Amino acid sequence: MTPDPLNFAGMTLDTPRLMGVVNVTPDSFSDGGDFLDPQAAIDHGRKLVDDGAHILDIGGESTRPGSKPITLDEECARILPVIAGLSDLGVPISVDTRHADVMRRAIDAGATIVNDVTALTGDPESVGVCAEAGVDVVLMHMQGTPETMQDNPTYEDAALDIVDYMRERLDVLNAAGIGPNKICIDPGIGFGKTLDHNLRILSAVDAFHELGVPLLLGVSRKSFITKIDRDVPAKERVAGSIAAAIAGWDRGVQLFRVHDVAETRQALAVWQAIEEAEEL
């Protein structure tokens, strides 16, 4: 018997779900400065939903390699107007932050998902804030901090080490009252990983299914693509991003955090149609 598909944020995951990226920052690696103006970010979020995004992920602090932290007030000033301006679209709004106070204020503004690059370890109050609010959470793995994560990342086995780490995080959240039905995990491609680590994780991402929670993959426009093919600007890495997403879907990943929603949606739809035709 085929198991029932998992759910996350009120959605069944029997078809690929896309989390559209809205970076309200001056310095994100891919689109820093493009949507720093709140209205530009709101307009972009609306376009991503029109293109097929199922979730919008709003972030105000860059966590690219070597990035420096900003103040909480500055982060909130960037994202809160955007969250409020997109809260009427009928799709879940995710706040991409590692700070508990920003989480609180974003939830008050309309966010229903917390996406934390530190897997709720970066701020001692984060787990409590999410548990009390009853929001869904995305736990991402990062070795080190954005400032240091690419200095010398080391693993025995990148995929299995992160599975073990996520198992421990799930136990911590469950003890706090956040059950697996509220959690999605992201192995954190590019966050404290070499090219070999990234490729090992992507090739063995189905190992994460033993944890029993949905998987989110964030490979969009990341620099590992240039280490495989050739060095091109972030916005010219769409094809490589889509290739990695399809490999993830083929291995059971259900959600994809992407900049290029329309292109990714189309590619996954065609791949899925071909696979389903083979089953007739």
Q: Which residues are catalytic?
A: 222, 257
- DSSP 8-state assignment for residue 96: E
Query: At 58, which helix (H) or strand (E)?
Result: strand 55-59
d(CA 225, CA 189): 11
Q: How far is CA 142 from the centre of its chain?
A: 12
Please choose, from the candidates 133, 21, 29, the residue with its C-alpha nearest in 3D space to the C-alpha of residue 82: 21
d(CA 241, CA 160): 23
Please choose, from the candidates 39, 30, 121, 126, the residue with its C-alpha nearest in 3D space to the C-alpha of residue 82: 39
Which of helix, strand or coil describes residue 109? Answer: helix
Place of tokens 């994460």: 208
114 beta partners = 95, 137
d(CA 116, CA 104): 13
Place of tokens 């106070």: 101
Tokens read off for 55: 């979730």
d(CA 91, CA 72): 26
Tokens read off for 218: 């964030």
CA distances (Å), origin 268, targets 15, 114, 246, 277: 9, 25, 6, 14
